Structure 1
Amino acid sequence: MDVIRLHPRLHHLRFPVGHAYLWDAPEGLTLIDSGLPGSAPLIADAVRSLGRDPEDVRRLVLTHFHEDHVGSAADVAAWGDVEVLAHRADAPFIRGEEKGPPPKLLDWERPIFEQVQAGLAGMEPPPPVRVDRELGDGDLIDLGGGTHAVAVAAPGHTPGSVAVHVPDERVLFTGDTVARLDDGRVVLGVFNSDPPLAAETFVRLAALDTEIVCFGHGAPVTENASAQLREAASRRA
């Protein structure tokens, strides 16, 4: 796993499958997503590489219930005084109270999905994790240091996908609603439970003012992200 500094307070944790992000404030750390099951030791190592301790993680924001985002959430939640946040529509799936809906695959997505599933074969499903705070659209998240993020409801990839926008710093975390390909193109994410709704959400996220955009899959955009998101949304239209 690589740890890449994107901003004075923002670090990208790049896993072989998916990503997580750390926001570093004097009062503590905020972790966005937790990777696949078994990723907690790697996240702890990343925290220590920043000169902090795992016990400094104060909040864990889960963008949606899929296993490559909540896989190590239960481990991270046990590190100390960690508040776990997720959108209210995905919270029952994260807690293990209900089974989340499967994706409605487009024909071209099927072979990719089968390949991904084959790579995850034999992996234990992520354990249920508590959700301390259920988010709704527009809710504020205190990141510390006088900085607040805004929860942006992002349904479509899953019913309760949530993006996290930090307006003052012009940073956006999209979860899997938006992705970036190896060639640099920004695209609508794949494996959506409601593809038309996911496309509508993509347009909504593209309207936000952002300089840095962090995806669940694909390298972040670190300059003039708004223009790239809007161009991608326009291309889809």
Structure 2
Amino acid sequence: MDQHQMSYGSDYKFIPAISIANGSGVEVLPDLYSYTVQIVNIVFVGEQKGKGYVLIDAGMPGSADEIISVAEERFGKDNRPKAIILTHGHFDHVGAILELVEYWNIPVYAHELEIPFLTGKKSYPDPDPTVEGGMIAKVSSLFPNESINLGEHVKPLPTDGSIPHIHEFQWLHTPGHTPGHISIYREKDRSLIAGDAFVAVRQDSLYSVLTQKSEISGPPRYFTPDWESAWQSVNTLAELDPAIAITGHGLALTGEQLSKGLKNLANEFDQIAIPDYGKAVKRYKH
């Protein structure tokens, strides 16, 4: 496989943000393993040592060796994932993807509306450092934002909602944070991998991110351009009434904290999630 056909945006670089959860993994269920790379979660779906596992999202820039090492420790050295599934293409979810694709020689799947951002055709809107929020929002203009190019290594997910290699799960289109954002759900035990449709920590707040203070929040404010769709997506996920949720940022959620918190977020999204000011805030505040 020729990596020269693939490229990161020219602004991709290591971001020196580390939370206390960095480098820790949690077996949320026997076949759901959440691992924190600096400030973002990746998820391995599949039984430990089992064949046929997949990786959800691809961490921060510069984290490929760490992700490979975690995969080999959990599943065995000669047992590579079948595929990488992307919830979306922001830099902290695709940061190591080129090296992983080259090392494992596996396909990547994403929603068809996300493909242009993963093949160099479109860039996301610039992060908004003027948005209402804490210190991370204010320095968000430093974050990588140019589209990466995976070329032919990325494929659109099947339109029927199925996900290759993990047949009990389905993907749900949950746009707003990005046009092709997806969340991943298993009905039999109501397990949800939410990506950044909602998160378990206030991602714009430096203190909350560093300490991983648990709080159900809307998608990261500085990177969310479409609040109306984001609200609809949270409503969609709240109606599922998930029993377990792994989000892109923060600790896994279960029990009353999840059920009450997600319902509350859906009901009061305009108050809790939508910022009072910022480039993408238009008519949504009441």
Identify whether the pair has TM-score above 0.5, normalized to the shorter chain: yes
- Which of residues 60, 84, 88 is equivalent to 2:84? 60
Residue 215 of structure 2 aligns with which residue? 185
Aligned residues: 232
**Is 1:168 the counterpart of 2:192 in the alignment?**
no
Could you say what secondary structure the match of 1:19 adopts?
strand
Could you say what secondary structure the match of 1:13 adopts?
strand
Q: Which whole-Å CA distance do the structure 2 matches of 1:132 and 1:124 have between them?
A: 19
Q: Could you tell me how far 1:101 is from its partner in structure 2?
A: 2.9
**Is 1:22 the counterpart of 2:47 in the alignment?**
no
Residue 233 of structure 1 aligns with which residue? 266
Residue 143 to residue 64, structure 1, CA distance change in 2 (3 Å): same
Gap runs ≥5 in structure 1: none
Q: Which whole-Å CA distance do the structure 2 matches of 1:57 and 1:11 have between them?
A: 13
Residue 152 of structure 1 aligns with which residue? 172
Residue 199 of structure 1 aligns with which residue? 231
Q: Identity, % of aligned pairs?
A: 24
Residue 134 of structure 1 aligns with which residue? 156
Structure 1-normalised TM-score?
0.86
Q: Which whole-Å CA distance do the structure 2 matches of 1:98 and 1:172 have between them?
A: 28
Contact persistence 1:55–1:81 (CA under 8 A): no
Q: Which whole-Å CA distance do the structure 1 matches of 2:29 and 2:192 have between them?
A: 12
Code of the aligned partner of 1:30: V
Contact persistence 2:38–2:60 (CA under 8 A): no
Q: Deviations along 1:124-168, whole A, 9 cap, x unmatched?
A: 967422454313665111444xx4211110111011111111222
Structure 2-normalised TM-score?
0.72
**Is 1:217 the counterpart of 2:238 in the alignment?**
no
Q: Which whole-Å CA distance do the structure 2 matches of 1:200 and 1:86 have between them?
A: 20
Structure 1 moving runs of 4+ over 4 Å: 103-106, 123-127
Q: Could you tell me how far 1:194 is from its partner in structure 2?
A: 0.6
Contact persistence 2:129–2:139 (CA under 8 A): no
Contact persistence 1:136–1:153 (CA under 8 A): no
Q: CA RMSD in A?
A: 2.6
- Which of residues 75, 86, 104 is equivalent to 1:80? 104
Code of the aligned partner of 1:163: S
Could you say what secondary structure the match of 1:38 adopts?
coil
Residue 101 to residue 56, structure 1, CA distance change in 2 (3 Å): same
Q: Which whole-Å CA distance do the structure 1 matches of 2:244 and 2:235 have between them?
A: 17
Residue 26 of structure 2 aligns with which residue? 4
Q: Could you tell me how far 1:54 is from its partner in structure 2?
A: 6.6
Q: Deviations along 1:55-76, whole A, 9 cap, x unmatched?
A: 5211111111110001111222
Structure 1, 102-111 or 14-23: larger mean CA deviation: 102-111
- Which of residues 26, 38, 63 is equivalent to 1:39? 63
Gap runs ≥5 in structure 2: 1-22, 202-211, 271-286
Q: Deviations along 1:101-143, whole A, 9 cap, x unmatched?
A: 335677314853232444x4xx796742245431366511144
Code of the aligned partner of 1:94: L
Q: Deviations along 1:70-110, whole A, 9 cap, x unmatched?
A: 11112222233522110111111111122223356773148
Q: Which whole-Å CA distance do the structure 2 matches of 1:70 and 1:233 have between them?
A: 28
Contact persistence 1:55–1:80 (CA under 8 A): no
